[in-house]
């Protein structure tokens, strides 16, 4: 039989001619930018989400993500973009792209419930001539083991009249140098015909699509990318603790090492790992590796170091206050920056929140200031009834300690330095300041 079916050729042609309709399932930090990119180049896009509030905001041409403007939403709506909670409309589109969370459960094991629930909600509406693409980060084998049998339960022949691909998301929120279009995209298909369709789907909106020979290879590629970062950050966080005991500034050391023009990539320490990928993804591979009687010692060790960083920061705060004859319990502490990284509003897995919880549990009166998070959001595991504190000379001076956790560019660092009684700096922002600054 010909490697590429008539259905795959027709579907690929529809993507190339932009007559095919695109469905994005999950309208969060990954799905919404993808909606805007497909809409921007001329596709009709339907966005699916279980959150009616998100759908209503989009219908009103409003954004709920800090770095995505309402103006861009409005342009997409004017170009025919629709958002809906009605998953039966999956039958209307030619491509179904799944962009939903893949967190860990309380046992630190993969939680695929969002992916499986989403796929099962569209399975009754699948038809020949469609492609299903999973973008959510997961362990190798997920596409074949979880998506393939559910699609085939509809009587669809994958690789012949229906197509299945895995193409991991790559987003760097807060980084103005990269966009959805300019970040190269890896794509693997269940069959060669599936890959052909996947390349046609993404090739119209991404500058460079990188093919790999299987969905499993694409799944492992995403894990390797993020595990490399997790391991290197774990290494530099361990080096930070060693340097601290030796009275050496780790930021000076990293900057000096980075002058080597080969063989060294600078990673900088912080209060821990945050975001929806790097603190989570290593555990997906660790869990899957057990099926093959393998132990991922190296990966797990880095995870332990990064997980313990908030405890290290709290210890540094306690020591700094003790040096000033103030007990930790009863102290007033202000957390500066609670999003997981600079210049975003994303709170997922933020180490800042871990630090806040540890301090609260030790009897600290904790508050926060974050220009990107005006009100502490509702989170599954973390609860604070707080709003962001405005930074003024008076407010800064009222705290026994301010701890810099996320170094947003909108903070006035001179104002903070001038009026705070004590600064615990986890980001190296005050690396050349000795008075009233403690490095953590």
Catalytic residues: 277
Residue 290's Cβ-count burial label (10 Å; 0-12, 13-18, 19+) is exposed
Strand 130-134 with 162-166, pairing: parallel
**Angle at 71 (CA atoms; ends 60, 339), nearest 5 degrees:** 90
Strand 162-166 with 185-189, pairing: antiparallel
Q: Where are the alpha helices (DSSP H) in 172-331?
A: 192-203, 215-245, 250-257, 281-289, 297-323
Containing 113, the helix (H) or strand (E) segment is: helix 113-122
| Structure tokens, 27 | 């309208």
Cα–Cα distance, 386 to 398 (Å, whole number): 17
* Three-state secondary-structure class, residue 123: helix
Contact yes or no for 52/236 (Cβ under 8 A): no
Containing 394, the helix (H) or strand (E) segment is: helix 393-397
Cα–Cα distance, 320 to 422 (Å, whole number): 8
Contact yes or no for 216/189 (Cβ under 8 A): no
* Three-state secondary-structure class, residue 166: strand
Q: Where are the alpha helices (DSSP H) in 260-330?
A: 281-289, 297-323
Which contacts qualify for 177-181: CB closer than 8 Å, 24 or more apart? 179/33, 179/37, 180/33, 180/34, 180/36, 180/37, 180/205, 180/206, 181/37, 181/205, 181/206, 181/207
Cα–Cα distance, 416 to 390 (Å, whole number): 12
* Helix and strand counts by DSSP (H, E) for the chain: 15, 13
**Angle at 433 (CA atoms; ends 429, 437), nearest 5 degrees:** 80
């Amino acid at each position: 039989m010909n490697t590429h079916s008539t259905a795959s050729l027709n579907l690929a042609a529809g993507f190339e001619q932009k007559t095919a309709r695109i469905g994005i399932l999950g309208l969060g930090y990954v799905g919404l930018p993808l909606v805007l990119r497909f809409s921007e180049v001329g596709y009709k896009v339907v966005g699916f989400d279980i959150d009616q509030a998100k759908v209503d905001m989009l219908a009103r041409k409003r954004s709920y993500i800090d770095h995505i403007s309402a103006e861009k939403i409005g342009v997409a709506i004017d170009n025919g973009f629709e958002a809906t909670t009605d998953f039966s409309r999956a039958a209307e589109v030619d491509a179904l792209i799944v962009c939903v969370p893949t967190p860990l459960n309380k046992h630190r094991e993969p939680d695929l419930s969002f992916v499986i629930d989403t796929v099962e909600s569209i399975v009754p509406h699948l038809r020949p001539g469609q492609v299903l693409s999973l973008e959510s980060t997961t362990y190798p084998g997920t596409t074949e083991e979880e998506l393939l049998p559910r699609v085939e339960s509809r009587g669809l022949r994958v690789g012949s009249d229906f197509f299945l691909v895995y193409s991991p998301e790559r987003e760097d929120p807060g980084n103005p140098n990269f966009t959805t279009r300019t970040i190269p995209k890896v794509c693997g298909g269940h069959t060669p015909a599936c890959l052909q369709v996947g390349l046609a789907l993404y090739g119209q909106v991404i500058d460079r699509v990188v093919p790999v020979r299987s969905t499993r290879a694409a799944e492992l590629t995403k894990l390797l990318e993020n595990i490399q970062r997790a391991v290197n950050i774990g290494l530099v966080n361990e080096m930070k603790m060693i340097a601290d005991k030796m009275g050496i500034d780790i930021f000076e050391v990293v900057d000096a090492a980075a002058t080597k023009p080969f063989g060294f990539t600078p990673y900088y320490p912080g209060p821990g790992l945050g975001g929806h990928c790097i603190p989570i993804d290593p555990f997906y591979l660790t869990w899957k590796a057990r099926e093959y009687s393998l132990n991922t010692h190296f990966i797990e060790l880095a995870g332990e170091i990064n997980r313990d960083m908030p405890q290290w920061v709290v210890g540094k705060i306690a020591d700094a206050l003790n040096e000033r004859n103030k007990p930790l319990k009863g102290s007033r502490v202000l957390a500066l920056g609670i999003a997981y990284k600079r210049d975003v509003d994303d709170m997922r897995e933020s180490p800042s929140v871990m630090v806040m919880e540890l301090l609260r549990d030790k009897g600290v009166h904790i508050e926060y200031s974050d220009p990107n998070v005006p009100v502490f959001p509702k989170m599954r595991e973390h609860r604070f009834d707080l709003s962001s504190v405005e930074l003024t000379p008076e407010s800064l001076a009222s705290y026994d300690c301010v701890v810099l956790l996320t170094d947003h560019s909108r903070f006035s660092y001179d104002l903070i330095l001038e009026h705070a009684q004590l600064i615990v700096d986890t980001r190296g922002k005050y690396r050349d300041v000795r008075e009233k600054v403690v490095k953590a």
